[in-house]
Amino acid sequence: MVVLFLSIIAGCSNRIVNEEQKINVQKRIHDENNYKDFKVISDNDEVQKVQEIVFDTEWENAKVQMESPADYRFIFQYKNPNIEAKVVSYKLWISPNNDVVEIVMKDDAYAILNKENSSILIEILAGENLPN
């Protein structure tokens, strides 16, 4: 009985934390290094999927110089005052072939996502579909 009760509480507490998260997405304006607020993702499942992709990515410790400013920038935001989380910004580029995305985290970590994760991520963050 105690185990069941603790399982229910743990499940509920995870749900509350997840509901307190959102992702702010900015889109680059033209070819400049200017961005505008594009969308806020607050759907629990979408936030969780983006987190899974980003947090499970194998990052390279590298400072990269890209040819153009990022196509999108995004950050995870926690609305729960009990969570002490650092705000980490991510910059995202759609590859020239439009088939994968490249991400830079905090300007010192770099990753290229596989086609499947690239497609999922860009669909959630930008509402775009990458060619298959």
CATH number of the domain within which 79 lies = 2.60.40
For residue 101, is it within any domain?
yes
How does residue 122 score in pLDDT terms, banded at 50, 70 and 90?
Answer: very high
| Domain extent at residue 115 | 2-126
Q: Answer whether 113's CB lies under 8 Å from 122's CB.
A: no
Counting runs of H as helices and runs of E as strands, what totals does the chain give?
3, 7
pLDDT digit string (tens) for 21-35? 899 999 999 888 899
pLDDT digit string (tens) for 89-115? 999 999 988 899 999 998 889 999 999
How would DSSP label each residue in 37-71?
EEEEE--HHHHHHHHHHHHTS--EE-----SS--S
For residue 131, is it within any domain?
no
Is the pTM here over 0.85, yes or no? no
For residue 87, is it within any domain?
yes
For residue 132, is it within any domain?
no
- How many folded domains does the chain comprise? 1
